[in-house]
Amino acid sequence: MRPGFLKKAAVALVAVIVIATAVFRLESAQRGVTVSQHRVGAIPVTAFQPAGPERETRRPVVVIAHGFAGSQQLMLPYALTLARNGYIAVTFDFPGHGRNGLPMAGGLADFEATTGVLLEALGQVTQAARQWPGGDGRIALLGHSMASDVVIREAMRNTAAQATVALSAYSPVATATQPRNLLIVDGEFEPAMLHAEGLRITGLGLAPGTQAVAGRTYGRIEDGTARRFVLADGVEHLSVLYSREALQEALDWIDRSFGRAAAPGEARFIDARGAALGLLYLGLVALAWPLAALLPRAVVAPVAAPPPLPWRRLWPIAVAPAVLTPLLLWKVPGGFLPILLGDYLLLHFALYGLLTAAGLWLAGARRAPLSGVRRPALALAALAAGAYGLAAIGLPLDRYVTSFAPDAQRGALMLAVCCGALPYFLADEWLVRGASAARGAYACTKLMFLLSLALAIALNPGRLFFLAIVVPAILIAFAIYGLFSRWVFERTGHPWAGACANALAFSWLVAVSFPVVAR
């Protein structure tokens, strides 16, 4: 038996054990909680409440709202933390997000229209929450990012709202006394302007010239005037959703607002899924390496990107598209796809890929690398790699992180985005793979792409600002799918099997993440 086979078998075995351990830990977080699916009108809603005899006790309901490009799964840490500590937690998908088939009106062009649509949806869910089976009529509201302003607005008009928790908050309407008992939590590594906004809101009731201080409570819980701003250590805009400190602060605040307190010495459950999610994806990525050995070979000898491209020749090809793409797209109108920012990403991918291909052509790589290739084997490898990339990453993502299951409309949008992503990944993989490619070329071209997006945002912040929120997700996806395409190339000998798989994965990610808007 070949040593290479034993090594791959050992990695596969360890990976499966790691995956099983992580899944067990993630599923254990729901122990003692009954999870049920509902609809409030067209809005998908999930309820989390204590199971067993405790379910008969009437208790407050906490309505939890996700942020831009999120879904109700993204708020699982808060829902489970609250449900495990005696509350009924209700999550839902805003219009245009997750599994809510209704489009989001307004988009980024009409703030008032968008806010109105979001507020109407939250109002419907809040009204249902006041009458929820097992609820006692009292509610608290919790929202992240885009939803922070929306939950503040809803709490200001709803007398049943006893407390509001706003994560990564902004709000032009909050006052010194409304909403009742407002906690604001920002990540330590979020922008300074967001910290300043949190401190501004917290200090609205203070004497002139007095500034609020993070970590101090102002006002009184008993009369609803309490205000508190907290910086959660070591986290940013998305990871604040997994911060143990942020979860503890939210639970304590809601407990105090409802006059509830843990018994002395009682261990409180705080969802800590970050480590388990890391283990899960570590195992899934590691498993891809031995599984890649099962793919068919598309060529006898690995294709090498001609001519040799050392760093001095690679840099112009890598840098030119990064600079030219945002400049050439600066004034190009959007709105041709009913998915917010999806149209821009389609164009950015496509133009970036064409410019990279032009750079390769100028460097002497004029022939398409398909001569001598077993095309059925290449197609089969691309399909198999794409299926693993979507299933291994997407299914756990959909269950434990955020919505990843497209409906018919998002499926069609995925195909449209793929028309732009495919040229990019075909050109990029041809540039960075093979014996003639510069060492570290993949990391270089992905860094250039992210810098290109940053330049595009800087040139048009009003239209593209929300792209900044998903840049960390794109970075993680580049790292994971880059390993996949590398192992696929090493097995098949051709860069385009991994390129097709990556184009499919990224198109899917864009189509299911960004909100569907009314045209």
d(CA 139, CA 312) in angstroms, rounded, equals: 62
**Contact between 221 and 181 (Cβ < 8 Å):** yes
pLDDT at 519: 66
Give percent of the chain with pLDDT exceeding 70.
94
Q: Are 413 and 340 in contact (CB under 8 A)?
A: no
* Cβ atoms of residues 498 and 489 within 8 Å: yes
pTM of the model: 0.92
pLDDT digits (tens, 9 = 90+) for 266-325: 778 999 999 999 999 999 999 999 999 999 998 866 665 556 677 888 889 999 999 999
Residue 367 has pLDDT above 70, yes or no: no
pLDDT of residue 507: 94
pLDDT value for 439? 84
Residue whose C-alpha is closest to residue 177's, from 158, 209, 160, 201: 201
Alpha-carbon dihedral 486, 324, 237, 163, rounded to 10 degrees: -140
Which pLDDT does position 302 carry in this prediction?
63
Q: Could you tell me which of 311, 305, 320 has the C-alpha nearest to residue 352?
A: 320
Mean pLDDT of all residues in 132-160: 96
Using CA atoms, how far apart are residues 440 and 102, in angstroms rounded to an integer?
Answer: 44
Nearest to 46 by CA among 9, 1, 12, 83: 83
Average predicted confidence (pLDDT) for the chain: 91
pLDDT at 265: 66
* Bridge partner residues of 228 (DSSP): 183, 217
Asked if pLDDT for residue 56 goes beyond 80, the answer is no
SS3 at position 181? coil
Q: What does the pLDDT read at residue 435?
A: 67
pLDDT > 90: percent of the chain: 74
pLDDT at 74: 96
Instruction: Provide the pLDDT for residue 368.
Output: 54
Strands (E) located in 180-325: 182-187, 217-218, 227-232
Cα 340 to Cα 337: distance, rounded to the nearest angstrom: 8
Q: Which pair of tokens denotes residue 517?
A: 């808007």
- pLDDT value of residue 110: 74
pLDDT value at residue 139? 97
Sorted by sequence, the CB contacts under 8 Å of residue 22 that are 6+ apart come out as: 276, 277, 279, 280, 283
Residue 175 has what pLDDT? 95
Sheet (strand 182-187) strand order? 33-40, 43-50, 88-92, 59-65, 135-144, 161-167, 182-187, 227-232, 217-218
Would you report the helix, strand and coil content of the chain in percent, each value rounded to 5? Answer: 55, 15, 35
φ, ψ (nearest 5 deg) of residue 213? -120, 135
Token pair listed for 486: 């590398």
**Mean pLDDT across the stretch 477-502?**
94
Is the per-residue pLDDT at 30 higher than 90? yes
pLDDT (tens digit per residue) in 324-354: 999 999 989 877 888 888 899 999 999 999 9
What tens digit of pLDDT does each residue of 453-473 get? 999 999 999 889 888 878 888
pLDDT for residue 466? 82
- How far is 142 from 135, CA to CA, in rounded Å? 17
For 413-452, write each residue's pLDDT tens digit.
999 999 999 999 999 998 898 767 778 899 999 999 999 9
The domain ranges of the chain are 30-270, 295-513
Residue 1 has pLDDT above 90, yes or no: no
Is the pLDDT at 366 greater than 70, yes or no? no
CB distance 60 to 258 below 8 Å: yes
What is the total residue count of the chain? 519
* Cα 401 to Cα 258: distance, rounded to the nearest angstrom: 29
Q: How many Cα atoms are found within 13 Å in the side-chain-facing hemisphere of 444? A: 21
Please give the distance of CA 361 from its chain centroid, rounded to a whole number: 36
Q: Choose among 62, 466, 76: nearest CA to 270.
A: 76
Q: Class for domain 30-270, per CATH?
A: alpha beta
Alpha-carbon distance 486 to 294, whole Å? 15
**How far is residue 245's CA from residue 250's CA, in Å, rounded to a whole number?**
9
- 423 token code pair: 């040229």
As a whole number of angstroms, the distance between CA 387 and CA 158 comes to: 47
Tokens of 182: 């407002």
- For 81-106, the pLDDT digits (tens) are 999 999 999 999 999 999 998 999 87
